Homo-oligomer: A and B are copies of this chain.
């Protein structure tokens, strides 16, 4: 019987352009890792390592991974279990790469594995939502993509109804995160209007439906046209110095589309091949000018969160 578990949960792109609060895309090769060991003491976070570790709360009641783990245990008759936890952040804080979602997913899945539960995706997402809520409110586009991998559609949150879309073709992502730019999800949401004109939301809906279809059928030309966010991107672009130039650099270097990852400041580019993603990443970094940035190039990952050996 397991008493400990180590889980890796990948980063993800929320919204994926037009799919505001609906689409999520799982990014390969980067994520958060949470290790849990059951013990006789109280819940405790032993260590937080990696990116922005100093800014991650050590209190179990304020830490996404710990809250998600506790939520899972309490909901599954394991309320008596106590854990010690180590968190290794591969994803930066408030970067728009789904870091709080990944930590929450990893915390929930590590807790499930530590108590030997083969938990359903809905049970894990429910627990992870409790973890992410402390950071960025109730939404699960990043949670769904990090847990399930691939492209996900969040149809409803209450009850949770999430669809994983099987993709065709090869899809690569370039993520560029400017240093010293932090955007809180809540603040980024406050920039968005509470209501939208009919023509505007119908356009957004059309692009989202077309984008899902394009990714599931391997239609690159359609990705080029449909990866077009007219809702959040124009309103949030000013939060990211040089965004217009960065986007232009990506599109001029082989990317099929480029937009803000989640609520930013990370900018993502989607490409149909490694070379185009790599060139886009380099050009995007250059376009940020004097602003230093970190970069990640990876495949869209069909595999989501998983236990490590």
A235 within 8 A of B: no
CB-based contact A154/B206 at 8 Å: yes
Would you call A206 and B165 a contact (CB within 8 A)? no
If A196-B195, A213-B153 touch, does A201 touch B204 (CB 8 Å cutoff)? yes
Residues of chain B with a CB closer than 8 A to A193's CB = 198
> How many copies make up the complex?
2
B161 touches A209 (CB 8 A): no
How many of chain A's residues have a CB under 8 angstroms from any CB in B?
37
Q: Report yes or no: A213 in contact with B154, Cβ–Cβ below 8 A.
A: no
Cβ of A96: which chain B residues have Cβ within 8 Å of it? none
- In the complex with contacts A210-B163, A225-B155, A226-B155, A194-B198 CB distance below 8 A: yes
Kindly identify which residue among B19, B166, B197, B225 contacts A205, using a CB–CB cutoff of 8 Å.
Answer: B19
Known A155-B225, A163-B213; judge A205-B203 contact (CB<8 A).
Answer: no
In the complex the two chains form, is A209's CB within 8 Å of B19's CB? yes
CA distance A155 to B207 in the complex (A): 6
Q: Let me know if A93 is at the binding interface, CB within 8 A.
A: no
Asked if A155 and B210 sit within 8 Å, CB to CB, the answer is yes
Most buried by B among A22, A204, A210: A210
Q: Contact between B212 and A213 (Cβ–Cβ < 8 Å)?
A: yes
Determine how close the nearest CB of chain B comes to the CB of A16; give it in whole angstroms: 11
- Check A198/B206 contact, CB under 8 A, given A163-B213, A213-B153, A225-B155: no
Please indicate the chain B residues that have their CB under 8 angstroms from the CB of A198 in the complex.
Answer: 192-196
Cα A257 to Cα B262 in complex, Å, equals: 33
CA of A262 to CA of B193, assembled, Å: 29
Can you report 27 A-B residue pairs in the complex whose CB atoms are below 8 A from each other?
A19-B209, A21-B206, A22-B202, A22-B205, A22-B209, A23-B209, A153-B206, A153-B209, A153-B213, A155-B206, A155-B207, A155-B210, A156-B203, A161-B225, A163-B213, A165-B213, A192-B198, A194-B197, A195-B195, A196-B201, A201-B201, A201-B205, A204-B205, A209-B212, A212-B213, A213-B213, A213-B216
Question: Which residues of A line the B interface, CB within 8 A?
Answer: 19-23, 153-156, 161, 163, 165-166, 192-198, 201-210, 212-213, 216-217, 222, 225-226
